[in-house]
A and B are shown apart, each in its own frame.
Chain A
């Protein structure tokens, strides 16, 4: 398989266009299944009552916020190392979705913190590092928007993206390294999850739905960016005859 083949904008564009409906459909189906399990199958929590059901949004959103940042950094690194234009397009296409999930994680965290901890917000390590992640996303996007030359903007944004990736392990391990009001991980690779099976499944399916959604939305955004950047090329001109 020749990877450079897929790195070419003229191959990427139609190929992404075909994939988007599939990922969107998967996201819808998984979200419906996850919400059904979350609201109708998963039992009431013995400590938090029905309030815990925020978990089905909060944890997938928080996972995605970190994961998307790492994927973005991966594309930024590839772009800087091999000077592949489409890698920067992918990195750029992921940023708004990552910022959205970070905001959702913080928002749902606040709405969960208020009834359980009695506070919308505390400056504990987990919450603060997640807030810094939001600023990093916004920073990368603002930096790229502020530079007119798209190639310089790509590089500057990629660099900030890579420097900021140090924040991700800090978020992840913050509940271990410091005493935080935020609880530790309920799900880890090294031991059995400390929650009911159905709750766990609901959460994992919602996380999978968030994944599929992210892929669909990022590909759609990357397509539009590709169109803009390749506007001088023959294939874009030919495409413009058709429907958007």
Chain B
């Protein structure tokens, strides 16, 4: 185990800003990609359904 406490873990030996800035941005990018993907899928789904009901009328 590398860390004596949570405090030393978050501090990352003085490199906290850089290490957490890197991991945080990666998490943000991944979450944003998944979120956008999901939203786009729902938008397409709804649009295609609407088009289908128009066709049926």
- Asked if B22 contacts A112 (CB within 8 A), the reply is yes
A209-244 CB contacts (< 8 Å) to partner B: 213, 217, 220-221, 223-224, 227-228, 231, 236-237, 240, 244
Counting CB contacts under 8 A, is B2 at the interface? yes
- Asked if A240 contacts B15 (CB within 8 A), the reply is no
By DSSP majority rule, is chain A's interface helix, strand, loop, or mixed?
A: helix
- Asked if A104 contacts B13 (CB within 8 A), the reply is no
Alpha-carbon gap, A115 to B29, bound state (A): 23
- Asked if A97 contacts B33 (CB within 8 A), the reply is yes
Counting CB contacts under 8 A, is A121 at the interface? no
By DSSP majority rule, is chain B's interface helix, strand, loop, or mixed?
A: helix
Number of A-B contacts (CB under 8 A): 86
The listed residue with most B CB atoms (<10 A of its CB), out of A54, A61, A213, is A54
A174-218 CB contacts (< 8 Å) to partner B: 213, 217
Which listed residue, B12, B17, B41, touches A220 by the CB 8 Å rule?
Answer: B41
- Asked if B2 contacts A108 (CB within 8 A), the reply is no
Contact (A100, B29) CB under 8 Å given A51-B13, A53-B19, A112-B18: yes
Interface residues of B (CB under 8 A from A): 1-3, 9, 12-15, 17-19, 21-23, 25-26, 29-30, 33-34, 37, 40-42, 44-45, 48-49, 51-52
Question: Can you sample 11 A-B contacts with CB below 8 Å?
Answer: A49-B15, A51-B15, A53-B12, A54-B18, A97-B33, A104-B25, A112-B18, A115-B15, A115-B18, A240-B52, A244-B45
